[in-house]
Chains A and B, each alone.
Chain A
């Protein structure tokens, strides 16, 4: 989380602060979670394991991180398809790699959409009114930009 985003919390109020805090907690999760660097990020995909990992081929977004991450999968309980998990290689470090962690989240979310829907939904470009440069606007823009890489996934 950049300084700008933290400064901005006062501007847009408590609710955004709560959201930003959620994001920030994740970024510095190693502070309170001794196992942060080895945690798996997981999505449940409404497809059987054979569709998720076909002939040892990972879904494209995860395959693109080949060599940098570990990937595992298992059957989800209750007919919910497959639990697909991934995490950055730790290489013996106990610090989490924030950037790679973000890329893992994006790859998992995209893999899920590709498998369930067939494409990744976009919302850009789309019509919009004038976007003036304001401090509050900059915070929202920054949070939006980071939102696929962040969160509790």
Chain B
């Protein structure tokens, strides 16, 4: 079958690979209908996340049809049209039982890597480096899905493929940022980043009762989507001083909840950007945390900051003094999709969450290298390139 492989830093190639087989009793094979690019892939592509091996198959946000199941599968069957959570959950360990499924103890066959880097390992994820288990990703005709009973969700009739695919990753990630960030009715929420994740975080904040939601980015077509599809306010950081503008729009308080949905390759016009670029080039720092710093400085006293953007290592000039003195709550995490996806699919079906507009460029899998180039450079208004194997 065909699959999109990472072959080196900023190098992708469609290769002919073997088809996956059932390896464990809880497995299924899913024939992929749609598989999307995600901002997280850009960190892999650029070599910012360590532990990539040439030949790794990318892709973790996908939906499709179950075509084979292992002997232990109970709740899913051949023919089911499903969306699969990007992270894997065994359903049994303490983390899975406590709705912290991306921290699953039992789905990462390479635990020593995360333990060495982070002090503990995350659960497994599709197509997301050897650190999350080295599982083959979904940018392929077929993908093996371990723990299909916990990881795959039936797509309601009336929800299209293009709508459903984002329930795998972008929608639950955004929801988690607003939910675990503690958004409550009446809150003012600011979201850094108007990609798929930031847009979904903004929508979640609105549905959780926020009275004002402000999304910050510089790409006009994304900010336009935020205003017209999501229904939130926007702030263009390329033409406005973010801190001053946020203070003005939040009655001088700052946002109650600040959600960062940018990640370790943040861009900025502030002087610290150059500092971070040089330091990452010299390998004195691994990640560029511009938006995290800004979110921490902007958040109101006693407010909370949720870091949804992916970080892989060490950052500099982290404003710990602001966290401490302003009494902030700082949270983060890979998405715990299993707890949210069924509810989110219902909301998508009910028209409460729009997702289809994120699929700006749907193309055959063979064109995925071009799709990633567009997504990476944000050409032609690309928000997410989505591949059809």
Considering the complex, which residues of chain A in the window 12-47 have a beta carbon less than 8 Å from any beta carbon of chain B?
12-16, 18-23, 44, 46
Q: Tell me the complex Cα distance, A23–B116, Å.
A: 5
Q: Decide: A121 and B116 in contact? CB cutoff 8 A.
A: no
Cα–Cα, bound, A46→B105 (Å): 11
Which residues of B are found within 8 Å of A2, using beta-carbon distances? none
Q: How far is the CB of A116 from chain B (nearest CB, A)?
A: 4
What interface size band does chain A fall in?
A: 35 or more
* Interface pair A121/B109, CB less than 8 Å apart: yes
Q: Does residue B140 face the partner (Cβ distance < 8 Å to A)?
A: yes
- Given A151-B115, A152-B115, is A13 in contact with B110 using a C-beta cutoff of 8 Å? no
Q: Which residues of B contact A127 (CB under 8 A)?
A: 1, 3, 17-20, 57, 136, 140
Q: Is B72 an interface residue (CB 8 A)?
A: yes
Q: Please, how many angstroms separate the alpha-carbon atoms of A18 and B287 in the complex?
A: 13
- B116–A20 touching, CB < 8 Å: yes
In B278-292, the 8 Å CB interface with A consists of 283-286
The interface stretch among B34-42, B87-95, B223-231 is B87-95
A24 (CB) vs chain B CBs: closest residue? B116
Q: A19-B113, A119-B26, A123-B23 are in contact. Are A128 and B130 (CB under 8 A)?
A: no
Chain A, residues 112-153, CB within 8 Å of chain B (1/0): the string is 110011110111111111111010010011011011111111
Chain B residues within 8 Å of A152, by CB:
115-116, 119-120
- In the complex, the answer to whether A129 meets B109 with C-beta atoms within 8 Å is no
Is A126 in contact with B116, judged by CB distance below 8 angstroms?
no
* Chain A residues positioned under 8 Å from B25 (CB to CB): 118-119
- CB of A23, distance to nearest CB on chain B (Å): 5
How far in angstroms is the closest Cβ of chain A from B24? 6
| Whole-angstrom CA separation of A14 from B109 in the bound complex | 23
Given A15-B286, A122-B23, A128-B17: A23 in contact with B54 (beta carbons within 8 A): no
List chain A residues, Cβ under 8 A from B90.
113, 116-117, 121
Which residues of the other chain, A, contact B23 by a CB distance below 8 angstroms? 122-126
The digit string for B111-139, where 1 denotes a CB below 8 A from any CB of A, is: 11111110111001000001101111000
A109 at the interface (CB under 8 A from B): yes
Q: Which residue of the partner chain B has the closest CB to A14?
A: B283
- A148 and B112 contacting across the interface, CB-CB below 8 Å: yes
A22 adjacent to B117 (CB under 8 Å) = yes
Bound CA span A21–B93, Å: 28
Q: Is A81 in contact with chain B by the CB < 8 A criterion?
A: yes
A72 at the binding interface (Cβ < 8 Å): no
Tell yes or no: A4 within 8 A of B by CB: no
Q: State whether B7 touches A153 (Cβ < 8 A).
A: no
- B1-45 with Cβ < 8 A to chain A: 1, 3, 5-7, 13, 15, 17-21, 23-26
Q: Find out whether the CB atom of A15 lies under 8 angstroms from the CB atom of B50.
A: yes
Q: Does B327 contact A (CB under 8 A)?
A: no
Q: A93-116: contact bitstring with B at CB < 8 Å (1 yes, 0 no)?
A: 000000000000000010011001
**3 nearest CB pairs, A to B:** A22-B116, A151-B115, A129-B5
Q: 7 A-B residue contacts at CB 8 Å? A: A14-B313, A18-B314, A129-B13, A137-B54, A144-B51, A147-B113, A153-B111
By a beta-carbon cutoff of 8 Å, the part of chain B in contact with chain A is 1, 3, 5-7, 13, 15, 17-21, 23-26, 47, 49-57, 72, 90, 92-94, 97, 105-107, 109-117, 119-121, 124, 130-131, 133-136, 140, 144, 146, 283-286, 312-314
Since A132-B55, A151-B121 are in contact, a sample of 15 more A-B pairs with Cβ atoms closer than 8 Å, ordered by chain A residue number, is: A13-B50, A14-B285, A15-B49, A18-B117, A19-B131, A46-B93, A116-B92, A121-B90, A126-B136, A126-B144, A128-B18, A129-B13, A143-B113, A144-B113, A153-B111
